[in-house]
Structure 1
Amino acid sequence: MPTNYKRKSNRQSWTAQQLEQAIKAVKSGSPVKTAARSYAFPRSTLIRHLTSPTVSTRLGPLDSVFNSQQEELLVQHLLDLENRFYGLTMTNVRKLAFDLAEKNGLPHLFNKSTKMAGKAWLSNFLKRNPKLSFRKPEATSAARARGFNKLAVSAFYDLLEEALKDPKLTTDRVLNADETSVCTVPPKKSKVVALKGKKQVGGITSAERGETATAVMCMSATGQHLPPFFIFLRMRMHVALKKGASRGSKFACNASGYMTVEIFNEWFDHFLEHVKPSEDSPAS
């Protein structure tokens, strides 16, 4: 079966809605010829469906492995897994389709040696369900995934709503802080010109794998931001690490390169130093 099959005729190019409307018109007293012409529906096909309502609408010798209801359940299952941060790859989806067909005793032409549905099936499955697509996932820690739930999010917005009731709190005093991982060696490098056919092309970096550092950024709703706060994976700070940093940046070191309670206190002092909240000018 070709991956991109192109139809060789315009048979059954009508929709189920056209069929339903044409049948309803005939049952209301309209002649078959008139109903077929009104709804752009083949007259002979309309006659067949009127005389035998159970007539098959299938084209070609092959049936779909899953019916529309089964495919909808499969789509919802795939989306549910992705929402739980356990999205399936292309290979996983093909294996799942094979297992579903086998467990439910559905006739199929999937490869029984690899125990996977074919690439053609996956391609057509995506065409039938255009709301699905394969995306590159962003690495998310288990701790962050557990913390991002309805209860935690609702509690956050309840606190935010309560804070925004203060008439002294203006938009430039509402700030959001977040941390991100920064690698000293970029994971991807731009292509460079080299001799065609050369087996290996290298590029000088500070290290082959690089080290991960944490950058804590804080910005207000109006776009004003604090100088960044960097956390390095090392036990002692070196002046060379500060070179090129923006004015006011602060630095810290620990054995993990991540935020800790002690370093958060340092960052909070950094926050107070620049934001300077007071009773007359609070910040949130």
Structure 2
Amino acid sequence: MTSYLLLIKGNPILICCQIMNRFDTVQASLKRKKYRSYSPTQLTNAYIDVVENKFSVYKASRKYSIPEQTLRDRVNGNVKIETTKSGPDPLFSEEEEARLVKHIQQISAVGYGYTRVEVMNLGTEYAIALGKRDREHPLSLQWLNSFIDRWPDLKVRRPKTISELRAKATSRESIEKYFKELESILDKYDLRDKPECIYNVDEKGIQHNHSPPYIVASSDSVPSVITAEKSSTVTILGCGNALGYQIPPFFVFPGARMRRELMEGCSVGAEGTVSKTGWSNSEIFTTYLQNHFVRFAKGRVTDQKILLLYDGHRSHFSPALIDWAIDQDIILYVLPPHTSHILQPMDVGCFGPFSKIYGNECHKFQRTHAGSVNKYNICNLACKAYTAALSPNNLRGAFRRTGIFPFDPSVVSLGNAFLASDTRKELEVNDDDQAPNSIGSGEQVPVVCDTQVLPDCQENRNVEMTQDKDCLVIEDFQHKGVQTEPIHISSEEPKESLLSSFFEKKKPVFFTKSNKQRRSINKIVGGKAITENSVANQVKDYVATVTKPKTTKKLKFSPPFRHSDQDRSDKSLPSESSDPPAALSADQPGPSGIHVQQNRCSHREPECLSSDSEIEESEKCCVCKLFEPKQLRSCVSIVFTKWGKCMFDNCDHWVHLGFCTEVRVLRRHDIFYCPCHGLPAKSAIIE
């Protein structure tokens, strides 16, 4: 540049600045220039004009702003017209990739999606089956990235967890039935245009230790946030209507006596009570409706019904509560079981923001007060989060997203609510269609799937899919002596049959339990208004016919510290004939969290609405005729009982392993017979 400046007359500094500015402008324009400014449609139209309309390559390239050589290569056949990117053609054709994409989407929809490594392994097996690759040259991460770029429908995402019960219960049939029943109730009581009369109530459990928000900190290390120790749960009963009006919160603290200090700093109208565990129960829920909800609920005019929706936990309904609701002109509507994540407004649009706001408030409190959250300030923090989370906008949006008000069932149908249920039904294999791999009573035996190709850094392993509690279990059996061969499909088969054969073997195998009809209150109240005469009568008949659970025998053990015989008589356990205390009989936990069951069952008849208390004869041991081994009746520690199911033809007997038979452990390939048939109790499959 120095020699160039010497040849130019004028101010060298000025000339140098002009040249540098010019250089920066050219460099910026090169950066802004797009690699390919034309679309595939323009290239196709230019190709058609040259081939069919007899345009020259030069004229067509100028007309559609396409490089002349690019168009000439396609006209001369050097490059295919379908090629949209430079470089070699993809390994699979568009049709083959489309089938692979469809399979990946189906598997992810039912909850068994592939990871990136598994997609590469699947693509390698696919290429081997099509004869396009061998095992010495597996596909790489570069192929996976290019494959995802070519298909915008695919994206690497972190999945959300959902329980198997929710995935199965959220079917299109159950949701349509729910909305049909809800529509009839809205029309019957003229509630379609009355959002102030449509309420939803639900419980939410909180603890002293919170989830901290994202913070700004040094990049040298991961920061730490001080939180309180793990504590018992405090339950909040929240409620609001479709108009956006929130009812003040109602707290349930753990303890035996309610203290005024627990409600210090609460919002206006907030109330509270105590329970032994901190969970809501039938007695607390009834008190909440009769004393708290009725006092703050709007729309309480003459002959005007109020619709109250809530989930179907057993603590939420009883014959006495139904009679009270009928007298108060309140329609109690129970949501279908295991569908609150898409049908309950509080879960959909309010309690999610509540958890985040509560965590932020706890984090701010600890920073400003240099202390931890405890039972005396948790109410103040929770009330702030409750007021902000159950705002009018959030409440109205929650009722709108669940299709309740405005009434629109298609809002739920437009989402992915039925994706897992519908796709599972498409892929589900019926027992009649499966291969006759059965033993004795027709029980399903392990089904071996094709070999999975792993990268060089991992071992090549075979996998086995088998039945375990109605779910798919994949286990390694590399050292079990089972050899499987890769899928090889004859080239003489049609291409469609070739593709279908490969992906048919890749579908997950769903095992279904025997459809045993069990008595459950949810079959009566799920998705229905329980204050209607027909449903209310069914609930009362069900409660009247429920068998009371047997009282447990008095445990015979000595306390670690005793001083006299008088102490023994004073501290003795109640007899079998004595009635349990009211506090124990009413301790039915609400759905706000996990409950540590301290009493096996409530002794009050209206509370025993669960099918767990009814043990059928087919579920008992065929030897001792008991559900619990008699050897464990006086045991005070936790013991897990192992069961074995007989595999004889048409025999569904269960036996206590280790107690009622000499067999203590059953493994995957073992054959087990109950003592009723006089056969050896255990044998193994000879492979």
Q: TM-score range by the shorter chain?
A: 0.5 to 0.7
CA distance in 2, matches of 1:82, 1:254: 43
Counterpart selection for 1:148 from 170, 177, 182: 170
- 2:55 corresponds in structure 1 to 30
Q: CA deviation at 1:25?
A: 1.6
Q: CA deviation at 1:21?
A: 0.9
CA distance in 2, matches of 1:139, 1:192: 29
For the pair 1:44 / 2:69, whether they are aligned, the reply is: yes
Q: CA deviation at 1:282?
A: 1.2
Q: CA deviation at 1:248?
A: 3.5
Deviations 1:206-250 (A, max 9, x none): 31x344444332211111112223455x46455354444432434
Larger mean CA deviation between 223-232 and 238-247 belongs to 238-247
For the pair 1:174 / 2:174, whether they are aligned, the reply is: no
For the pair 1:249 / 2:276, whether they are aligned, the reply is: no
- 2:126 corresponds in structure 1 to 104
User: Is the CA contact (8 Å cut-off) linking 1:94 and 1:117 kept in structure 2?
Assistant: no
Q: CA deviation at 1:175?
A: 1.7
Once the two structures are superposed, the pairs formed by residues 267-278 of structure 1 within 5 Å of their partners are 267-269=288-290, 270-275=292-297
Over 3 Å counting, the alpha-carbon distance change for 1:12 and 1:198 in structure 2 is closer
Over 3 Å counting, the alpha-carbon distance change for 1:73 and 1:179 in structure 2 is farther
Q: CA deviation at 1:172?
A: 0.8
User: Is the CA contact (8 Å cut-off) linking 1:216 and 1:228 kept in structure 2?
Assistant: yes
AA partner of residue 28 (structure 1): N
RMSD value over aligned CA atoms? 4.5
After TM superposition, where is structure 1 displaced by more than 6 Å over at least 4 residues in a row? Answer: 9-12, 196-200
User: Is the CA contact (8 Å cut-off) linking 2:217 and 2:223 kept in structure 1?
Assistant: no
- Helix, strand or coil for the counterpart of 1:227? strand
Counterpart selection for 1:59 from 67, 77, 86: 86
Once the two structures are superposed, the pairs formed by residues 1-284 of structure 1 within 5 Å of their partners are 14-26=38-50, 27-52=52-77, 55=80, 57=83, 59-60=86-87, 64=90, 68-69=94-95, 72=98, 80=106, 83-84=109-110, 86=111, 93-105=115-127, 118=141, 127-129=149-151, 140-165=162-187, 166-167=189-190, 170-188=194-212, 191=215, 201=224, 203=226, 205-207=227-229, 209-231=230-252, 234=254, 236=256, 238-239=258-259, 241-246=262-267, 247-251=269-273, 253=275, 255=277, 257=279, 264-269=285-290, 270-275=292-297, 280-284=303-307
AA partner of residue 224 (structure 1): Y
Over 3 Å counting, the alpha-carbon distance change for 1:248 and 1:218 in structure 2 is same
CA distance in 2, matches of 1:71, 1:189: 42
Over 3 Å counting, the alpha-carbon distance change for 1:141 and 1:170 in structure 2 is same
User: Is the CA contact (8 Å cut-off) linking 2:73 and 2:79 kept in structure 1?
Assistant: no
User: Is the CA contact (8 Å cut-off) linking 1:175 and 1:219 kept in structure 2?
Assistant: yes
Over 3 Å counting, the alpha-carbon distance change for 1:68 and 1:40 in structure 2 is same
Q: CA deviation at 1:152?
A: 2.8
AA partner of residue 58 (structure 2): K
Deviations 1:22-80 (A, max 9, x none): 122220333333222222223333233233286484633x6545555555555555555
User: Is the CA contact (8 Å cut-off) linking 1:97 and 1:116 kept in structure 2?
Assistant: no
Q: Larger C-alpha radius of gyration, 1 or 2?
A: 2
CA distance in 1, matches of 2:216, 2:75: 67
Q: Figure out how many residues of one structure are paired with residues of the other and give that number.
A: 264
CA distance in 1, matches of 2:78, 2:221: 66
Q: Unmatched 5+ residue regions in structure 2? A: 1-30, 308-687
Q: Unmatched 5+ residue regions in structure 1? A: 1-6
Deviations 1:191-219 (A, max 9, x none): 4879x97998562x431x34444433221
CA distance in 1, matches of 2:107, 2:305: 42
- Helix, strand or coil for the counterpart of 1:228? strand
Q: CA deviation at 1:20?
A: 1.7
Q: CA deviation at 1:171?
A: 1.6
AA partner of residue 43 (structure 1): E
Q: CA deviation at 1:267?
A: 4.3
- Helix, strand or coil for the counterpart of 2:237? strand
Over 3 Å counting, the alpha-carbon distance change for 1:201 and 1:42 in structure 2 is closer
AA partner of residue 176 (structure 1): N
User: Is the CA contact (8 Å cut-off) linking 1:98 and 1:116 kept in structure 2?
Assistant: yes
CA distance in 2, matches of 1:121, 1:237: 65
The TM-score with structure 2 as length reference comes to 0.32
Over 3 Å counting, the alpha-carbon distance change for 1:87 and 1:223 in structure 2 is farther
AA partner of residue 229 (structure 1): F
